[in-house]
Amino acid sequence: MSEAITAGSPADGQPQPRTMARAIEDSGVLAALLLIATLPIVEIVLRKFFRTGISGAPAIVQHLTLVISMLGASLAARESRLLSLATTKFLSGRVRVAAALFSGSVAASVTAWLAVASFQFVIAERDSRTLAYAIPLWVVQLVMPIGFAVIALRLLWHASERWSGRTIATAAAVALCLTMWVSPFSPQQLALPALIALFAAAILGAPIFVILGGAALILFWEAAVPIAAVAVGHYSLVVNPSLPAIPLFTLTGYLLAEGGASKRLVDVFDRLFGGVRGGPAIVTALACAFFTTFTGGSGVTILALGGLLFPILRRAGYSERSSLGLLSGAGSLGVLFPPCLPLILYAIVAHVRMEQMFLGGIVPGVLMLVLTAWWGMRQDRRVASTEKFSPTAAAQAIWEAKWELLLPVVVIVVLFGGFATPVETAAFTAIYALIVEGVIHRELKTFAMLSHVFSEAGLLIGGVLLILGVALGFTNFLVDAEIPAQAVAWATASIHSKYVFLLLLNLFLLVVGGIMDIFPAIVVVVPLVVPLGAAFGIDPTHLGIVFLANLELGYLMPPVGINLLIASYRFEKPMTEIYRAAIPMLLVLLIGVLLITYIPPLTTFLPRAFAP
């Protein structure tokens, strides 16, 4: 196989080129994430004690986010782990090979055009300002075309396991690129066939960013708008001043996940509640909510805690179906608690103050947690508890996990105490988690372990930000086409009650949640929904929490709810079995969504009480 090709023999003691290249990439991700985390901390110290700062520090951090987004996406492409709607694993034989070649060639073609669009953007920015310390801005922006080009090559590499297949995929990708460049047909004639081919590639496993980025490229091309507009949208989102909070909190989540935090936290909640009737359900709800708050609803919670919580539930007498359903539903409970990533991204896209979103999500988040625990408690058929509560054991478990349990307190005090901005708070939290897991508990004690954690975090960050960046290009096309304005005009003419509008919004978002991951859904759908909410006089924070609560429910919505997919993978169960297990939790959380929707004070009380 091609992966076996090397340029050095074991006898010469030299590292293999591919291994060295991987190490360089991984080290680049580690360095970029460390800089993103440490620069804001240094800025806090200098500002607080020396009344000075680092020249251009915010801009440097923002552009380091751009660097980590492309490096991480390149890593995801290297490992063939770019997020997609489907895979070819359900196909077999020649059909599977043909599907992989088709989706791979389409994906590589789209990515190559994204590289071209990014290069055009960089050329246009060539004479623009410097970043800091006389570094030309365009030099940093070059990471976009280079990154997309590397991703395109890796998509071709993974299109087949054979060189003959890769050659075919490369030829097909080149032909598709040339079709846009030198075809005798007009863009208007080619747009529909191109969109159909893109949709087919999506079904056969092309990455999500290819679908959104390809659609944006095709629509701009058809409208005779320079395709560099897609790159402009990508750049403007990724260097948003608030966006560095996303990679920083993602890093925090991965540090907790890869350390022993999950075991310590589960042990605390088990010692406190495991002995009461329904205690294992309470343990599951609390542990998952705590973990998801910092991992961002990426599915990491089920992977990190599933192996610990599933045996606890089964030993307590829960059926396999109830255990699977409870874990699948609880895996997204922390989405509404600060500082979860969807709250941050919604605030950025909807132009709502992040602190307001953080406060607005607390009570609805508690409601969803209580409903989940309540349903789980009802599944406990024991007549009496099988364990006795031990204050000594509980105190010992709390003491062992004290540093992790203090993490939410650190976030609240630093952010709402006025000591730091949201990005600086995120940096402080990441460094705190690094010290706790790496220094205090010494669970990340080697460079290899640390590099692995940073690479995994960077891979997820890159995959998500790649989707978000190209999704904004698609959203910008919708805005240019006046789709939001048309939607407002239609809705205000056809719907005369904000409660009817909210009901229709719930139904619409449930469909969105079943077919689209939460992060691209925020970027694509929020610009359409926010003007509608304003037209019906809905509080912006309330609208945001309603939006996110519905998409939290979307984690359990067939066909591509991420918790369903990850639970199937983690517990090695068929998707149909996971669907059946999750239905009761879906209905329970739906009750919570409706309460959040139609009782606005649940969301608006805290933001108004603590309004500046």
Give the pLDDT confidence of 511-548 residue by residue, as tens digits: 887 777 788 888 888 988 999 999 899 999 999 999 99
The pLDDT value recorded for residue 322 is 87
Tokens 């540090």 belong to residue: 255
The pLDDT value recorded for residue 11 is 41
Q: What's the CA gap between 556 and 343, in Å, rounded?
A: 19
Strand ranges for 244-321 from DSSP E = none
What mean pLDDT comes out for the span 18-31?
82
Among residues 174, 194, 187, 17, the alpha carbon closest in space to that of 108 is found at: 174
Asked if residues 603 and 542 have their Cβ atoms less than 8 Å apart, the reply is: yes
Q: What's the CA gap between 375 and 377, in Å, rounded?
A: 5
Asked if residues 216 and 230 have their Cβ atoms less than 8 Å apart, the reply is: yes
pLDDT bin (cut points 50, 70, 90) of residue 2 is very low
- DSSP codes of every residue in 438-474: IIIS-SS-SHHHHHHHHHHHHHHHHHHHHHHHHHHHH
**Is residue 85 pLDDT above 80, yes or no?**
no
Asked if residues 235 and 144 have their Cβ atoms less than 8 Å apart, the reply is: yes
- Interacting residues of 519 by C-beta distance below 8 A, sequence separation 6+: 341, 342, 345, 464, 467, 468
* Alpha helices per DSSP H over 158-260: 163-182, 187-203, 208-222, 228-238, 245-258
Q: Which of 3-7, 65-69, 144-148, 409-413 has the lowest mean pLDDT?
A: 3-7
pLDDT bin (cut points 50, 70, 90) of residue 9 is very low
Among residues 427, 346, 401, the alpha carbon closest in space to that of 61 is found at: 427
Q: What's the CA gap between 422 and 430, in Å, rounded?
A: 12
**Is residue 401 pLDDT above 70, yes or no?**
yes
**Is residue 494 pLDDT above 50, yes or no?**
yes
Asked if residues 570 and 323 have their Cβ atoms less than 8 Å apart, the reply is: no
- Interacting residues of 396 by C-beta distance below 8 A, sequence separation 6+: 271
User: How many C-beta atoms surround the C-beta of residue 234 within 10 A?
Assistant: 30
CA 314 vs CA 275, 369, 460: distances in Å:
14, 21, 31
The pLDDT value recorded for residue 560 is 64
Q: What is the DSSP letter of 14?
A: P
pLDDT bin (cut points 50, 70, 90) of residue 87 is low
Helix (H) or strand (E) run with residue 605 in it = helix 601-609
Q: What's the CA gap between 586 and 178, in Å, rounded?
A: 47
Give 271's strand partners.
Answer: none
Report phi then psi at 499, rounded to 5: -70, -40
Asked if residues 122 and 138 have their Cβ atoms less than 8 Å apart, the reply is: yes
Q: What's the CA gap between 611 and 609, in Å, rounded?
A: 6
Indicate the average pLDDT of the chain.
84
Taking only the tens place, the pLDDT of each residue in 579-612 is: 888 888 889 999 999 999 999 999 999 998 887 6
**Is residue 559 pLDDT above 70, yes or no?**
no
Among residues 586, 297, 287, the alpha carbon closest in space to that of 460 is found at: 297
Cis peptide before 559 (omega within 30 of 0): yes
Structure tokens at 44: 């806090």
CA angle centred on 358, ends 259 and 44, rounded to 5°:
70
Residue type, 33: L
- 3-class SS of residue 24: helix
Give 207's strand partners.
Answer: 84
The pLDDT value recorded for residue 497 is 86
More confident residue, 573 or 532: 532
User: How many C-beta atoms surround the C-beta of residue 13 within 10 A?
Assistant: 7
CA angle centred on 179, ends 203 and 199, rounded to 5°:
15
Give 136's strand partners.
Answer: 130
> Residue 597's Cα: distance from chain center in Å?
24
3-state SS of 334-388 is: HHHCCCCHHHHHHHHHHCCCHHHHHHHHHHHHHHHHHHHHHHHHHCCCCCCCCCC
Q: What is the DSSP letter of 599?
A: -
Q: What's the CA gap between 7 and 459, in Å, rounded?
A: 27
Give 557's strand partners.
Answer: none
Structure tokens at 601: 């004070």
CA angle centred on 270, ends 269 and 271, rounded to 5°:
90
Q: What is the DSSP letter of 48?
A: I
Structure tokens at 472: 């904004």
Taking only the tens place, the pLDDT of each residue in 147-203 is: 999 999 999 999 888 899 999 999 999 998 888 777 777 888 888 989 999 999 988
**Is residue 434 pLDDT above 80, yes or no?**
yes
Q: What's the CA gap between 153 and 145, in Å, rounded?
A: 12
